[in-house]
């Protein structure tokens, strides 16, 4: 059996960028993709906004993916499509195996390292606690996007969107462009969870009302499909305000409540999950702290604002995999833990070695203006004009700073 | 002799299956829904009860049929290849009062001859089932309890009925029971008249309405709603044994069940609804909170809400008599009732079916066929096969290697076979739910958000209808409203 330098689970932006980096540096990856073609989720995102950071050009989703795919083809990188990964096995330090089922047979493939870039899944209505009948006309934003922009199925005529995640905002515009009415976007919090550019370009430009502090109280159905919903305003504790309810007649309810990293196979491998990111705990090699030689990138690592970041993490993971292959493992001690302090929702990586400079991705817990990010242990303050939970902050920590700190490095956001 | 069975739920199908054993009996099951098991049988706790909670003084027949049903299911799940597991169950006592309840059921267990039932102290309880709430006082362990896939059971029964010459008519609603000269003559349905010498009413929630059509007017049925929460396979803690709170006069308590699909089911509520709410099969916020509150008393901690994959509700038919109504009427002659099948109806179903056959035998001579096939095999699941067997299958048909539902690992070939089997038993509407209940695609973590679009394409190829016209359940539940751009073309 051939041993690849790296098995890459997932042929989306993160996986493709990782494969390209490995191949360009002379290593042999195998890309394992579950759909019938490479490209991942951007294939169904027929809107611009991709590639600004990675290609320094504004591209649509399919254009973004096809650039990566053509590079994969140019380099002659091996890939398998329609491959279902049943299990990942950590055979040894330098042997990772994946059990696959494909239309060409069931097989086991082996790599010295593994880069996990399996993307995310959407949260469903049940996770949000939306009760009511299980009928037609209730879809997540991503399923609606697949229906419309991959398979040509129109999901509904009169649509209400719950949650203001980016996919939902983008779909609001798509629905209008295809002749449907979008009656409202409901957001339970007092601020939208999507990017400002999407609020402007997808809602305001199309006169779609964004109702903050509103949520669905009840779904009503007729003849097997949604017929109306009861909307309610909520108070500071997110509890419904009695008497504020009203009915919106609609045939479709779209759930746009954000994404969660797909980590089932990692969990089965024994990788611990960060309750803040819902992704794995990793060090500054993007290597899981529990299983050496398994790297994670893209939306499986943490939910990113842009596919560009996913691609960037793919390259980061690929560079780490190369170091790992060359040195039969990576030096990972001493590990410093990055502790999300006041007003910080999440930080990735959660651990840093202090052996080199590292990027840090973080999100604040709520919208803040005139703030500073403070690292008390490092004696570092970074002033920011504003920060939103929907906008990931990316910053660099220097090796010299990290080694000065103890086991824990706290980061917090506070007013200036 | 022609027998019409009204209702393709677990009661009607169990009865119909036994009827196909007899020579000269033409069995026709009529069902208003597009598929089997979509009424009461669909949404319940899926337990095969050990029957130590049945009081033989209050309900002697129910107790007897529950015990018989329990024992028969052991055989039926093997004959019919129904998913089942037999982990045993524990009633958890969290107080001194509840401990007395355990003792009461322990006595019933001994009277009913339920094997192996014993009271276990706190230490043993926590050893057998470490995920139980450590504040628990004691448990009543009944090792014979099991859980099955209830809709899977209906599907298996239906396939076996058809293999043995019976028929099922779907989308067929009974409008009247025709009686002449004090004998039943048949049923008028939404699709015309069906002649019958014997009519078995197994119409579940609507059974009192059917009985009234035959002039029987001595009982009513009201819906008792049970709501449920289903957690993903990854849910922790996931007790291996079935555990539940101490029963009350009205309910069997809130159950925590590791299902045959390895998911975690918690429920039910027991809400008495007015008779006109027989379609209120939806969960409510209050109901879900009730379940969580009660379940949290007996488990060390509840899995996080992020692992909830579905919330649903079912209605149990609660008869005004308080117990099963199993009768062969002399007036009108040939009208048979298997109604009021409340809890523990799923457990008792094979016993009820046998009892109904005996009632018929008191009036008609039934002679067993020489050849009758008790066996039915389920759909082969590629994920459950070994590597060699799997590759042989994929070589013969590559669709076995095309995994469509990533959460549950279901291949295209299995979905195609589900459709073929639906057609074989007479299902006219190929629905997402029909596929879901047969191969468990769209049953996992993402609830079909990833694979449903692709499944709509597969079903479209098999049915010749456009993907948007695929339905979830019955009539108006279309996936989409048209093709993209249709709104401009058609308005």
The number of C-beta contacts closer than 8 angstroms across A and B is 160
Distance from C-alpha of B45 to C-alpha of B147, rounded to nearest angstrom: 8
Residue A119 to residue A115: CA distance in whole angstroms = 12
CB–CB of A251 and B284 under 8 A?
Answer: no
CA A306-A308-A309 angle, 5° bins: 75
Crossing angle of helices B452-463 and B432-439, rounded to 10°: 110
Q: Dump pLDDT digits (tens) for B356-381.
A: 999 999 999 999 999 999 999 999 99
Q: Which CATH architecture has domain A333-416?
A: Sandwich (2.60)
Task: Provide Rg for chain B, Cα atoms.
Answer: 23
Contact between B193 and B177 (Cβ < 8 Å)? no
Average pLDDT over residues B89-93: 97
What mean pLDDT is reported for chain B? 96
Q: Which candidate from A102, A152, A224 shows the least CB-CB separation from B474?
A: A224
Question: 3-state class of A301 per DSSP?
Answer: coil
| Residue A208 phi, psi dihedral angles, 5° rounding | -95, 125
Q: Measured between beta carbons, which residues in chain B are less than 8 angstroms from residue A32? A: none
Give me the sign of the Cα torsion angle B427, B433, B437, B439: positive
What percentage of chain B carries pLDDT values higher than 90? 96
Residues of B in contact with A126 (CB under 8 A): 308-311, 447
Residue of A124, A132, A223 with shortest CB distance to B447 = A124
> B94: pLDDT confidence band, cut at 50, 70 and 90?
very high
Whole-angstrom Cα distance, residue A46 to residue B434? 33
Q: How confident is the model at residue B491 (pLDDT cuts 50, 70, 90)?
A: low
Nearest-5° Cα angle at A332, A331 to A335? 150
Instruction: Please answer yes or no on whether A136 and B477 come within 8 Å at the CB atom.
Output: yes
Q: How confident is the model at residue B489 (pLDDT cuts 50, 70, 90)?
A: confident
Q: Kindly state which CATH superfamily the domain A1-122+259-331 is placed in.
A: FAD/NAD(P)-binding domain (3.50.50.60)
Q: How far apart are CA B411 and CA B278, in angstroms?
A: 36
Given a contact cutoff of 8 angstroms between Cβ atoms, the answer to whether A368 and A407 are in contact is no
Min distance A223 CA to chain B CA atoms (Å): 5
Residues A105, B485: C-beta atoms closer than 8 Å: no
- Choose among B235, B255, B237: nearest CA to B245: B255
Sheet with B47-48: list strands edge to edge: B47-48, B146-148, B84-85
Contact state of B312 with A134 under an 8 Å Cβ cutoff: yes
Which positions in chain B touch A155 (Cβ < 8 Å)? 479-481
A200 to A195, B226, B262: CA distances (angstroms): 9, 45, 45
Mean per-residue pLDDT, B298-317: 95
Classify residue B58 by burial, with Cβ atoms within 10 Å: 0-12, 13-18, 19+: exposed
Q: Residue A278: its chain B contacts at CB < 8 A?
A: 306
Distance CA B229, CA B466 (A): 33
Helices (H), B250-401: 285-298, 345-361, 387-396
Q: Between A129, A150, A223, which is nearest B475 by CB?
A: A223
CA distance A293 to chain B (A): 24
CB within 8 Å: B484 and A154: yes
The CATH 3.50.50.60 domain(s) of chain A lie at 1-122+259-331, 124-257
Q: Would you state the pLDDT for residue B252?
A: 78
Cα dihedral A144/A148/A152/A155 (nearest 10): 50
Q: Helix H segments across B113-201?
A: 122-128, 150-163
User: Which of B487, B489, B490 to probe the A interface (max A CBs under 10 A)?
Assistant: B487
Q: What is the DSSP letter of B8?
A: -
Residue of B nearest to A142 (CA): B449
Q: What is the CA radius of gyration of chain A?
A: 22
Active site residue B49: yes
CB–CB contact A146 B468 (8 Å):
no
Q: How far is CA A323 from the centre of its chain?
A: 26
Architecture of the domain delimited by B1-84+148-220+320-378: 3-Layer(bba) Sandwich (3.50)
Q: How far apart are CA B391 and CA B394, in angstroms?
A: 5
Three-class secondary structure assignment of A172-218: HHHHHHCCCEEEEEEECCCCCCCCHHHHHHHHHHHCCCEEECEEEEE
| Cβ pair A300, A314 in contact under 8 A | no
Cα–Cα distances in angstroms (integers) from residue B431 to residues A151, B157, B420, in the given order: 18, 19, 12
Inter-chain residue contact B484 with A146, CB threshold 8 Å: no
pLDDT at residue B490 above 80?
Answer: no
Residues in chain A with CB shorter than 8 Å from the CB of B306 are: 123, 127, 260, 278
How does pLDDT run across A90-110, given as a tens digit for each residue?
Answer: 999 999 999 999 999 999 999
CA distance B172 to chain A (A): 17
CB A251 within 8 A of CB A156: yes
Residue B392 neighbours by CB under 8 Å, 6+ apart = none
**pLDDT, position B155:** 98
| Residue A10 backbone class (left: φ over 0; alpha: ψ -120 to 50; beta: rest) | left
Query: Residues in chain B, how many?
Result: 491
Q: Considering the domain B89-143+222-316, what is its CATH architecture?
A: 2-Layer Sandwich (3.30)
Distance from the first to the final alpha carbon of chain A: 59
Sign of torsion, CA A132 A134 A137 A142?
A: positive
Q: Do A126 and B311 touch (CB under 8 A)?
A: yes
A403 to chain B, closest Cα gap in Å: 37
pLDDT at A356: 92
Q: With CB atoms and an 8 Å threshold, state whether B453 touches A147.
A: yes
Q: Write out chain A residues lying below 8 Å of B484, CB-based.
A: 148, 152-154, 178
A353's CB contacts (< 8 A; 6+ apart) are A283, A284, A285, A331, A332, A333, A334, A335, A336, A402
User: In terms of C-beta density within 10 A (0-12 exposed, 13-18 middle, 19 or more buried), how is residue B163 classed?
Assistant: middle
Look at residues A279, A275, A280 and name the one whose alpha carbon lies nearest to residue A291: A280
Residue of A103, A154, A223 lying closest to B483 (CB–CB): A154
| Chain B residue closest in CA terms to A103 | B401
DSSP state of B368: B
Q: Are A160 and A187 in contact (CB under 8 A)?
A: no
* Closest chain A residue to B308, measured at CA: A127
| Cβ <8 Å between A105 and B382 | no
Nearest to B288 among A101, A127, A131 (CB): A131
Enumerate residue ranges in chain A where pLDDT < 50. none
Active-site residue (options: B49, B52, B70, B222):
B49
Q: Where are the domains of chain B?
A: 1-84+148-220+320-378, 89-143+222-316, 382-490
Binary contact (A178, B485; C-beta < 8 A) = yes
- State which residue of chain A sits closest to B234, comparing Cα positions: A264
Pairing between β-strand B482-483 and β-strand B410-411 as defined by DSSP bridges = unpaired
Which residues of B39-108 form beta strands (DSSP E)? 47-48, 84-85, 89-93
C-alpha B284/C-alpha B195 separation (Å) is: 42
To the question of domain A124-257 being in CATH 3.90.209.20, the answer is no
Specify the DSSP class assigned to residue B240: S
Q: Is residue A158 helix, strand or coil?
A: strand
Torsion of CA B134, B140, B146, B151, to 10 degrees: -80
C-alpha torsion A11→A17→A19→A20, nearest 10:
130
- The helix or strand, by DSSP H or E, that contains position B7, with its residue range, turns out to be none
Question: What are φ and ψ of residue B326, in 5° steps?
Answer: -130, 105
User: In chain A, how long is the greatest CA-to-CA distance?
Assistant: 68
Give the pLDDT confidence of B181-202 residue by residue, as tens digits: 999 999 999 999 999 999 999 9
Chain A neighbors of B468, CB-CB under 8 A: 153-154
Which residues on chain A are in Cβ contact (under 8 Å) with B447? 124, 126
B400 to chain A, closest Cα gap in Å: 7
Q: Provide, as residue numbers in chain B, all residues whose Cβ is less than 8 Å from the Cβ of A157.
A: 481, 487
Residues B71/B73/B79/B83 CA torsion (nearest 10 deg): -140
Give pLDDT tens digits for A121-155.
999 999 999 999 999 999 999 999 999 999 999 99
Give the count of alpha carbons within 13 A of B448, CB side only: 25
Q: Which residues contact B358 (CB under 8 A, 6 or more apart)?
A: none
């Amino acid at each position: 059996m051939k041993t690849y330098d790296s098995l890459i689970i997932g042929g989306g932006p993160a996986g493709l960028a990782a494969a390209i980096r490995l191949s360009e540096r002379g290593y042999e990856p195998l890309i394992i993709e579950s759909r019938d073609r490479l490209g991942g989720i951007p294939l169904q995102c027929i809107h611009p906004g991709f590639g600004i950071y990675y290609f320094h050009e504004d591209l649509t989703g399919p254009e973004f993916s096809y650039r990566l795919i053509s590079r994969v083809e140019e380099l002659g990188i091996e890939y398998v499509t329609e491959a279902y990964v049943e299990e990942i096995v950590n055979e040894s330090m330098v042997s990772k195996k994946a059990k696959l089922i494909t239309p060409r047979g069931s097989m086991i493939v082996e790599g010295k390292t593994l880069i996990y870039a399996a993307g995310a899944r959407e949260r469903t209505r049940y996770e949000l606690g939306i009760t009511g009948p299980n009928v037609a006309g209730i879809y997540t934003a991503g399923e609606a996007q697949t229906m419309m922009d991959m398979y040509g199925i129109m999901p509904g005529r009169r649509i209400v969107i719950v949650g203001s995640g980016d996919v939902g905002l983008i779909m609001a515009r798509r629905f209008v462009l295809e002749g449907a009415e979008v009656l409202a976007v409901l957001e339970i919090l007092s601020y939208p969870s999507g990017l400002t550019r999407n609020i402007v370009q997808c809602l305001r430009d199309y006169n779609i009302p964004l109702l903050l502090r509103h949520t669905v109280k009840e779904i009503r159905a007729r003849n097997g499909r949604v017929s109306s919903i009861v909307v309610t305003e909520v108070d500071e504790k997110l509890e419904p305000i009695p008497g504020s309810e009203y009915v919106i007649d609609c045939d479709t309810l779209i759930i746009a409540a954000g994404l969660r990293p797909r980590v089932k196979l990692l969990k089965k491998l024994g990788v611990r999950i960060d309750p803040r990111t819902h992704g794995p705990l990793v060090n500054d090699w993007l290597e899981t702290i529990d299983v050496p030689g398994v790297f994670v990138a893209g939306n499986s690592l943490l939910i990113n604002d842009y596919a560009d970041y996913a691609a960037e993490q793919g390259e980061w993971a690929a560079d780490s995999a190369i170091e790992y292959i060359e040195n039969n493992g990576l030096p990972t001690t001493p590990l410093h833990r990055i502790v999300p302090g006041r007003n910080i929702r999440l930080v990735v990586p959660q651990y840093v070695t202090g052996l080199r400079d590292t990027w840090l991705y973080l999100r604040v817990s709520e919208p803040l203006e005139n703030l500073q990010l403070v690292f008390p242990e490092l004696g570092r303050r970074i002033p920011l004009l504003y920060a939103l939970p929907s906008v990931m902050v990316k910053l660099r920590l220097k090796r010299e700073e990290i080694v000065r700190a103890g086991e824990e490095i706290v980061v917090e956001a506070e007013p200036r | 002799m022609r027998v019409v069975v009204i209702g393709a739920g677990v009661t009607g199908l169990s009865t119909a299956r036994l009827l196909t054993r007899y020579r000269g009996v033409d069995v026709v099951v009529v069902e208003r829904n597009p598929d089997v098991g979509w009424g009461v049988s669909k949404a319940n706790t899926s337990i095969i009860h050990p029957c130590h909670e049945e009081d033989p003084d209050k309900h002697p027949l129910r107790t007897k049929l529950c015990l018989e049903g329990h024992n028969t299911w052991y055989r039926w799940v093997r004959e019919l290849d129904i998913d089942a597991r037999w982990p045993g169950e524990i009633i958890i006592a969290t107080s001194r009062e509840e401990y007395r309840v355990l003792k009461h059921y322990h006595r019933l267990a001994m009277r009913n001859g339920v094997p192996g039932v014993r009271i276990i102290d706190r230490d043993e309880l926590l050893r057998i089932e470490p995920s139980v709430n450590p504040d628990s006082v004691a448990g009543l362990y009944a090792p014979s309890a099991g859980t099955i896939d209830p809709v899977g059971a209906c599907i298996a029964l239906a396939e076996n009925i058809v293999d043995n010459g019976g028929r099922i008519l779907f989308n067929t609603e009974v409008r009247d029971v025709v009686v002449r000269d004090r004998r039943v003559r048949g049923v008028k349905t939404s699709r015309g008249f069906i002649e019958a010498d014997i009519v078995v009413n197994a119409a579940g929630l609507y059974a009192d309405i059917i009985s009234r059509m035959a002039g029987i007017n001595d009982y009513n049925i009201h819906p008792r709603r049970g709501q449920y929460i289903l957690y993903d396979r990854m849910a922790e803690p996931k007790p291996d044994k079935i555990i539940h709170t101490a029963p009350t006069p009205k309910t069997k308590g809130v159950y925590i069940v590791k299902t045959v699909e390895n998911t975690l089911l918690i429920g039910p509520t027991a809400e008495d609804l007015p008779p006109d709410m027989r379609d209120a099969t939806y969960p409510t916020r209050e109901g879900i909170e009730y379940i969580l509150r009660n379940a949290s008393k007996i488990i060390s901690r509840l899995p996080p809400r992020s692992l909830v994959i579905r919330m649903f509700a079912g209605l149990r038919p609660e008869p005004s008599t308080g117990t099963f109504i199993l009768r062969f009427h002399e007036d009108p002659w040939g009208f048979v009732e298997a109604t009021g099948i409340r809890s523990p109806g799923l457990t008792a179903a094979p016993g009820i079916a046998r009892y109904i056959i005996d009632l018929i035998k008191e009036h008609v001579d039934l002679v067993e066929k020489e050849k009758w096939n008790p066996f039915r095999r389920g759909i082969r699941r590629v994920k459950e096969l070994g590597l060699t067997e799997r590759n042989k299958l994929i070589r013969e048909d590559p669709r076995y290697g095309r995994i469509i539902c990533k959460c549950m690992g279901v291949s295209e070939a299995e979905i195609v076979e589900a459709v073929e089997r639906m057609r074989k038993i007479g299902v006219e509407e190929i629905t997402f739910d029909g596929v879901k209940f047969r191969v468990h695609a769209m049953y996992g973590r993402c609830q079909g958000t990833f694979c449903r679009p692709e499944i709509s394409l597969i079903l479209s190829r098999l049915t010749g209808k456009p993907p948007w016209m695929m339905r979830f359940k019955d009539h108006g539940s279309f996936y989409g409203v048209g093709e993209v751009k249709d709104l401009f073309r058609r308005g």
